Structure 1
Amino acid sequence: MRSLSELMESGVLELYVLGAASSEEIQLVDEMAATHPEVRNELLQISATLEQYAQTSAVKPRASVKALLMATIDYLERMKKGELPESPPELTANSRISDFEKWLNRADAVLPAHADDIYAKLIGYTPSATTAIVWLKTQSDNEVHDDEYERFLIVEGTCCITAGDETHALAAGDFFAVPLHTTHQLIVTSAIPCKAILQRLSVA
């Protein structure tokens, strides 16, 4: 590839912007961009076009996905700083809020003022179980789980959870297990955020 026109038409500039160019192609583009403003402008145009495509084609993740992802990052950072991993008890119909007092009374187990509609604090993680304290201000997205059981123990506030064709009113102390393969949504009915212990268990 010897001429500017050959470079512009080769597709190498697109590969360069995508990070898929070879080392030789990167060197070539860098050299050509240093001496040809047309190459620099084309690179900017390609970047802008790809960014616009990404923005218009992006799928917004569910709020719960972001909340649990951020909670996982926080949990891993706490482990790096010396916090020892723990295994909170499995949530069942016999679970009580007092079973989780040691985690609910943590100094950092509070809802930050800047929190999104859903906020979570991970308190236990194993390959088969994830346990978190969650706060929900208004409502969750519609979800369905095919490979994990989702269970709730309400700690504060009230909510209604619709699972399939049934709606259940829940208050502090109430337990609910979401059936597999069932679309469900939680809607807060109290003036304060609904606070709960959330546990997701892998299907054996």
Structure 2
Amino acid sequence: MDEVQKLLESGLLELYIMGAASTEDAAYVALMAEKHNEVKAELESIEIALEAYSMKHAIAPDPVVKPFLMATIDYMDRLEKGETPTFPPLLNKNSKVSDFKPWLDRPDMNPPEGWADIAAKIIGYTPEVTTAIAWIENAAPPEIHTDELESFLIIEGSCNIRLDGEDNYFSAGDFFTIPLYVSHTVLITSDIPCKVIIQRGKVAA
């Protein structure tokens, strides 16, 4: 059995779509989807099937997983069309909005038409780190990260990142890293969507 067929029959694609795959497995699926059209097509087919199931059973799709899945598909499409991969700088407490000017100034780095709640555009990917521009309209639901560190640099707007019920207010230019194993919710406090650079990095075992 070749590698593609083995992946298609492994159940890993379903876990990836549902956001339940490990960071390492998710990176592997993304790489295989970039290389093999049949893997990409199967991912799209699974997503459609799960959305149909969710609607039939009145189950709302995860509001965080879906926009990042769509961002992954968009990124793979861009690479297939010849976009050169880029490697944005790692976020840290000294990061500035100007550090990301080459990506922020791109005319195609806008949320998709008709977006709601959360949208994202991936601007850099390695097996260790994914970097994206994200837009959050009202709020992002509670999450807990156990195997990756998530950092933000606020570009526009303002928000309250609530950690285990404790408020943390941020505005343009602010940097923050979400601790592991802590429930966090993002609440938008500005009249405009909060635009951020978001970076998710794999935690070393």
Aligned-partner Cα distance in 2 for 1:70–1:172: 26
Which segments of 5 or more consecutive residues in structure 2 lack a partner in the other structure? 1-51
Which segments of 5 or more consecutive residues in structure 1 lack a partner in the other structure? 1-50
Aligned-partner Cα distance in 1 for 2:137–2:199: 19
Q: Which residue of 1 aligns with 2:99?
A: 99
- Paired residues, what number? 153
Question: Structure 2-normalised TM-score?
Answer: 0.71
Q: Which residue of 1 aligns with 2:131?
A: 131
Question: Structure 1-normalised TM-score?
Answer: 0.71
Aligned-partner Cα distance in 2 for 1:148–1:82: 29
Q: Which residue of 2 aligns with 1:55?
A: 56
Report deviation, 1:116.
1.8
Q: How does 1:78-89 map to 2 (within 5 A)?
A: 78-89=78-89
Aligned-partner Cα distance in 1 for 2:177–2:77: 30
Aligned-partner Cα distance in 2 for 1:94–1:102: 18
Kept in 1, the 8 Å contact 2:155–2:195? The answer is yes
Aligned-partner Cα distance in 2 for 1:73–1:52: 21
Q: Which residue of 2 aligns with 1:161?
A: 161
Kept in 1, the 8 Å contact 2:111–2:121? The answer is no
Bigger Rg, structure 1 or 2: 1
Report deviation, 1:153.
0.3
Aligned-partner Cα distance in 2 for 1:166–1:175: 17
Kept in 2, the 8 Å contact 1:86–1:124? The answer is yes
Aligned-partner Cα distance in 2 for 1:113–1:81: 20
Report deviation, 1:72.
0.4
Kept in 2, the 8 Å contact 1:62–1:141? The answer is no
Q: Which residue of 1 aligns with 2:120?
A: 120
